[in-house]
Each structure stands twice: as structure tokens, then as C-alpha cells.
Amino acid sequence: MSLDDFHRNFRSDLQTIIAERVEAGEGPFPSDELVFAEMVMEHVEETGICEAPTVCHWSGKVGNAKLRITGYALSSDETALDLFVTHYFGTEELSDLRDSDATATASEGVRFLFRAASGNLDAKIDPTHPVRDLVATIRSHWGDIDRLRVFVITDGRTKNKRFSNKEVHQKIVAVEAMDMERLFRHTEGKPRDELAVSLVQSIGRLLPCVHVPDPDADYEYVLTAIPGQLIRDLYLRFGTRLLEANVRTFLGAKRAVNKGIVETLRKEPEHFLAFNNGLVLVCDEASFERTDEGSLGLAFIKGLQIVNGGQTTSSIYFASRDDRTIDLSHVMVPAKIIILKGSQDEARESLISNVSRYANSQNAVKVSDLSANRPFHVQLEKLANDIWCPDGVTRWFYERAAGAYNVMLLREGTTPAKRRKLQTMVGPRRKLTKNDVVKYHEAWRGKPYNVALGGEKNFAAFMAALDDDPSIVPNPLDARWYRTMIAKVILFKAIESMIKTKDAKAIFRQGYVNIATYVVAIVADRLGDKLDLEQIWRNQTISTSLRNLLWDWAIIVNAEFNRIAPGQQFSEVAKRADTWAKMRNAEFSRPPSYLQELRSL
């Protein structure tokens, strides 16, 4: 498939989503541009580039300067902020976006950031606009924000994908483009290509190493030591994408091992190389050069992933961020690098999985933590493929492997007519990722505060809970469980659709996902087995009476968020377990006796 084909298909998907939303009663709002922005921001999240984004369109002027954002993503610890600004063409043919125009668009977001941090933007914003909460967060957490990026998201093509950094109040703001070409590369299965580093540019020299090539093996081996400052810079630039193949996330500085890492960094940085077990990395490509003295040095790495040493990497970053007295200039970290060979993606990913598995086997890490191949996900994928909706012509799609939906469209939608038929059969609104399913499941299970932590953290919490108590889901999964699971999805999406309409924005200013999550949790808590989920599955929708009840409950949840923590971001308030406890104690209207989805028990 060519880039032009990809662009046409993307536009087709966009129009399909808009049509589905209009049919679902969301009306003509939001615009093509905002739906496009939402699609791209969701992709950026799924790729691991940022945490869960929020569509939040605002534009204004300060003097003659134009300010604008289309959305933002704030990390769960409120130390990383990404702003998104659109440059939307909306044309059938792919357009080129000049670098000068891309940077001009980015400048609108940079100006917004500058004014928000300066504290003089409030007077320019309508008091009811949800962006006010973001402005307040930027102002109050400015000292803690460590990474700032502005993304220009466009349906055009830019020559460059990264532009010169900007500076705002002594903080560096990285500027990037997320254009059609970059999206195409990701869809083609190459998101890891962006995790590349030139050692000469980064540390000013080649990295001394021992290289062990093997023409008969499916990998090559490199032994080296990586400067601590480089590890910090890589984590700052790429975040948890570096650890994508790692079986654990950061466990915190209070764990005994991590505490020891921090103490060594603080008191004996020169001994870090001797004390630490080091990192295991895999990469797709590497290049070597000779130094002036004739020794071999590592010059470039592409597609790198840290498969063992996630705690070391995270500890170095967070310790140096939180304690400015820590000097990383004398810190070296032992590392072995596995250079993958061969062109078969499945074989390469299998090797990565096994390297991750065995490299971590000295610690208490379960093999099942490599989750995509766990029985739960394999069985769910099979159920989604085998079970058709009651109309007999549509079904839901479970994306066990990232990008599987697009692969299906590319493989089977070889003509525009075939692609339209596929989109009718399995529309974008019926695509469910692993994180999606766990979000809906955990909301119903009474864990809305875990859902609010974001996709990856909620997913990790669910998989850990499943290890501790396999009875959370049937084993094997059965058709009845699948049908009721989809009914919960339909409930969630119905709530979210209602509160995101243009008319609803007078009441619901922020936190749409959080509100929907807590309403679903309340439904499960108050109605539980009384609700006939099989009926929702059969109808693939909910009745008007249930819709009215959910609307009333959403208003109460929204009011409770404002009461519990006035002026705060719902996304932060929702993460607290005590918020759920307080929400459960709120007064919710009783369901009407004529509610058709209620069982007669």
C-alpha cells in the first residue's frame, strides 16, 4: 500500500466514524477536524508516545498573537505535558505542509503554553470552557513539569518530523509533527523505528564496545557500558516506549533494589558500574565505526527496547529529576545489546519476547506477564471472530495484537468496495483493544479508580488481579461472558456519547471518560445482576428509559466530582480510591419500574 492509499483509507475511516456518531445521536458535532484530531491522538496514545489525551479545542488572541490548542495529554504524575495543534487540510488528495507552516502552527501551541505558565491567560478564557482547568494545572504544576512537547497533527505530509526546540520560562519544549507519513510508518509496523539514537550526536563520541557477530544466528551480540546521562536523556525523550518489551513498569523508589540504586547514584556514582547488574537491550539495527585509535565503537542504534533493567532505567531518570544534586557524569551502566537479524516480524517479536522472559527470570516475574499470548486474550480474540451480532451481518473486533485491525483492513479491503464492506461489518466503533476491554471490565467490577490511572496501568492491575484470582473471568471464556462483556461496552459508549454532545457541554466540561467510568461502576453497584445484559446484547443498544437514567446519574457523578475536589482535574480526582467510596455514598435516583432492561427477579 502506498502513502496516498493510506491517506485515502484514513479519510474513509474518518467519514465512517463521523457517520456512526451521527447515527448514534451525537449530532454533527464534533467537526471533521476534531474527529481527525481525536483519531490521531488515540493513535499517539496506543503507540505509547503519550498518556491518555483529551480533545480540548480552544483558540484566542493576546494582542496580535494567536494562541491555539486542539488537545493535550498530561502524565499521571503531572511531570510531562503534551499539547496538540491541528493543521487540517480535509482534502481528498494528500497535501504537503511546508516546514515553515508547521512551525507556525506549533508556535500557536507554544504561545498558549507560555501564557498559561505566566498566569495571565484566565481573563481570555470563557469561565465555562474546560481548558481553564488545564491552564490552572499548568500554572500550579509548572515547577514539576519536566518534559514538554508540542505536536502538530496534520492530514498532510511534512518534510521533517522534528523541529527546533523552543524555550518557555527556562524549560525546553520539543516540537514534533505527527503527519500522514509518520502514521503510515506506524501502521506498517515500524513505530519502533522512531526509537533511534546517534551516539556521536548524543554523547559526542563513539561508545566503546565488544561486538560478537554470528553469521549463523538470528542475532548479534554487543557488550558495552552506557553513560547514565544518556539513559536519563533517552527516558526523557521516549518515556516508557523504551520499556515496551519489559515485563514490568517502574515499581517505585521505595523498593529495596531501587532504593539501593538511588543511594549509589547519590553517594557512590563512580561505583555504579561495579554494583549494578546492568541492562539488556534489543534493537533492530546498529552501526559501528572505528575510533582514531583503531578500536571499535558503537555509532548508531535504531529500534531499541530495554527488555531487562527497567527499574534501573526508571530509577536513574526519576532520581536525577527529583534530586538535582545527583551528578550522572560519573555513572556508567553495564549493558548487553542484542541486534536482531532476519526479516520475519513474528520471529523477531518471538525472540524479543523470549529475551525479555529469560533476562528477567532471575526475579519474581511470571511468564504470563507477557500478556498478548495469554489464554484470556487468545480466547477473547477467537470469540470476537466467531460470534456475530444478532443481525447476522456485523460483529465486534478484538485487537489482541496492536495494529491487527488495520492489518485486517489492508489484507481483506483490497478495493474501496471491499473496504467499505469491511467497515460496515466491523466498524471502527466496534474495534476493541486490550486496554479497551480491561477498561470496560474493570469499571463494571467496581475499580473505576484503576481505570482512571490510564490504559497501561489499569491493564497491568487487571492482569495482576487475574493472576491472584483467576475466577474474575471464566476459564475458558464462553459465549455468554463475551455477550455480557459487549453489553458493558455498549453501556459505556452510550454514556460517553451522551455527555460529549455539543448540547451536553454546558453541563459536562471535562472528564468524559472518567464520568462514563464512574457511571458504569454505579450501574454495576446499584443494579448489578438486576440488569439484563443479554437484552442489551440482543438489541446492540439501550432503551430510551435506560438512557434517561444514565443521563441523570451522569449529572450526579459530574456534580460529585466538582463537590469532592472543586477546581481540580477530574482525571486526577478519579484516580483516588476514596473518590469511589464517596461516589458510592451519593444519592442516585431510583430506576423506574418500567425500565425494560431490568430483570423481574
- DSSP per-residue codes, 309-324: -HHHHHHHHHHHHH-T
Mean pLDDT score, 23-32 = 62
At residue 349's C-alpha, the angle toward residues 344 and 352, to 5°, is 130
Coil/strand/helix, residue 428: helix
Q: How far is the C-alpha of 475 from the C-alpha of 383, rounded, in Å?
A: 13
**Per-residue pLDDT at 189 exceeds 60:** no
Mean pLDDT score, 34-54 = 84
pLDDT in tens, 55-78: 888 888 888 889 999 999 888 777
More reliable by pLDDT, 229 or 306: 229
pLDDT in tens, 171-187: 888 899 999 988 887 77
Does 136 share its domain with 211? Answer: no
Does 183 share its domain with 280? Answer: no
Q: How far is the C-alpha of 297 from the C-alpha of 211, rounded, in Å?
A: 9
Residue 180: strand pairing partners:
none
Which pLDDT belongs to residue 387?
A: 93
Residue 333 lies in a domain: yes
> How does residue 506 score in pLDDT terms, banded at 50, 70 and 90?
confident
**Per-residue pLDDT at 287 exceeds 70:** yes
Mean pLDDT score, 485-491 = 93
Q: How far is the C-alpha of 232 from the C-alpha of 230, rounded, in Å?
A: 5
**Per-residue pLDDT at 29 exceeds 60:** no
Residue 594 lies in a domain: no
Mean pLDDT score, 385-404 = 86
Q: How far is the C-alpha of 181 from the C-alpha of 6, rounded, in Å?
A: 9
Number of H helices, E strands in the chain: 23, 18
Does 574 share its domain with 443? Answer: yes
pLDDT in tens, 403-427: 677 777 777 877 888 888 888 888 8
Does 99 share its domain with 176? Answer: yes
Write down the H helix ranges in 500-576: 512-526, 533-539, 544-564, 570-573
Does 286 share its domain with 308? Answer: yes
Lowest mean pLDDT: which of 21-35, 100-114, 264-278, 426-440?
21-35
Residue 590 lies in a domain: no
> How does residue 369 score in pLDDT terms, banded at 50, 70 and 90?
very low
Does 537 share its domain with 518? Answer: yes
Does 170 share its domain with 184? Answer: yes
**Residue 313 · residue 231 · CB < 8 Å:** yes
Domain end among 124, 155, 188: 188
CA atoms within 13 A on the CB side of 601: 9
Which pLDDT belongs to residue 253?
A: 45
Residue 284 lies in a domain: yes
Does 355 share its domain with 379? Answer: no
Is the bond into 428 cis (omega within 30 degrees of 0)? Answer: no
Q: Considering only CA atoms, which of 124, 119, 111 is closest in space to residue 136? A: 119
**Per-residue pLDDT at 210 exceeds 90:** yes
**Per-residue pLDDT at 247 exceeds 70:** no
More reliable by pLDDT, 357 or 262: 262
How many domains are contained in the chain? 3
> How does residue 557 score in pLDDT terms, banded at 50, 70 and 90?
very high
> How does residue 165 score in pLDDT terms, banded at 50, 70 and 90?
confident
Residue 597 lies in a domain: no
In the chain, pLDDT over 70 holds for what percent of residues? 89
**Per-residue pLDDT at 207 exceeds 90:** yes
Which pLDDT belongs to residue 132?
A: 82
pLDDT in tens, 138-160: 888 888 888 889 999 999 999 98
pLDDT in tens, 509-541: 777 888 999 999 999 999 988 999 999 999 999
**Per-residue pLDDT at 191 exceeds 80:** no
Domain end among 168, 188, 208: 188
Give me 347's grid cell. Answer: 520471529
Q: How far is the C-alpha of 203 from the C-alpha of 198, rounded, in Å?
A: 9
Residue 565 lies in a domain: yes
Does 171 share its domain with 218? Answer: no
**Per-residue pLDDT at 256 exceeds 60:** no
Does 347 share its domain with 442? Answer: no
Does 60 share its domain with 176? Answer: yes
Domain end among 188, 211, 242: 188
> How does residue 251 score in pLDDT terms, banded at 50, 70 and 90?
very low
More reliable by pLDDT, 457 or 251: 457
**Per-residue pLDDT at 237 exceeds 70:** yes
In 10 A of CB 446, how many CB atoms? 16
Mean pLDDT score, 31-56 = 84
Does 397 share its domain with 517? Answer: yes
Output the pTM of the full model. Answer: 0.63
> How does residue 342 score in pLDDT terms, banded at 50, 70 and 90?
low
Which pLDDT belongs to residue 349?
A: 60
Lowest mean pLDDT: which of 191-200, 414-423, 450-459, 550-559?
191-200
Which pLDDT belongs to residue 481?
A: 94
Integer angstrom CA distances of residue 351 from 315, 366, 442, 578: 27, 17, 32, 43
More reliable by pLDDT, 12 or 224: 224
> How does residue 504 score in pLDDT terms, banded at 50, 70 and 90?
confident
Q: Which domain holds residue 544?
A: 375-584
Residue 592 lies in a domain: no
More reliable by pLDDT, 368 or 551: 551
Residue 596 lies in a domain: no
State which of 255-259, 267-271, 318-322, 410-414 shows the largest mean pLDDT: 267-271
The mean of the pLDDT values for the chain is 83
Which pLDDT belongs to residue 250?
A: 43
Lowest mean pLDDT: which of 42-46, 71-75, 264-268?
42-46
